[in-house]
């Protein structure tokens, strides 16, 4: 038996309540797996350069402490997004997954 890393899975919830479960490894961004699996509403137009804001997600309350709130330039970027939520909004390109995030749920805000 090898000691391979556990495979965190993330559930993306669309505005209509539909869910998409995405397998992911720790150490890469949440945005990378969302775009790999074609999660609707995650455009990520800048490819993770924190200049577009089109990778906006809302972190479920159960994982907000683990993920943390947006700070600095990320926070400024989110300020002008529709559906900004002080506690929940993050740019998914700025969230590096950890094993502790396994099972995390994130919502995709309405397109803006």
Task: Give contact residues for ligand FES (rule: CB under 6 A).
Answer: 31, 44-46, 48-55, 91, 93
Q: Distance between CA atoms of 37 and 91, rounded to whole angstroms?
A: 17
- For 2-104, strand residue ranges (E) read 9-13, 19-23, 56-59, 89-91
Q: CB of 87 within 8 A of CB of 58?
A: no
**Looking at beta carbons only, is 60 or 81 nearer to ligand FES?**
81
What's the closest the beta carbon of residue 80 comes to ligand FES, in angstroms? 12
- Shortest separation between residue 6's beta carbon and ligand FES, angstroms: 25
Q: Helix, strand or coil for residue 64?
A: helix
Residue 19 or 45 with smaller CB distance to ligand FES: 45
Least gap, CB of 112 to ligand FES (angstroms): 13
């Amino acid at each position: 038996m090898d000691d391979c890393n556990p495979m965190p899975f993330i559930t993306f919830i669309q505005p209509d309540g539909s869910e998409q479960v995405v397998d992911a490894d720790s150490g890469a961004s949440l945005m990378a797996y969302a775009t790999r699996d074609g999660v609707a509403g995650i455009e990520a137009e800048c490819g993770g350069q924190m200049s577009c804001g089109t990778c906006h997600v809302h972190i479920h309350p159960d994982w907000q402490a683990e993920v943390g709130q947006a700070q600095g330039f990320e926070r400024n970027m989110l300020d002008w997004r529709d559906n900004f939520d002080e506690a929940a909004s993050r740019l998914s390109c700025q969230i590096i997954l950890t094993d502790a995030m396994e099972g995390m749920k994130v919502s995709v805000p309405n397109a803006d």
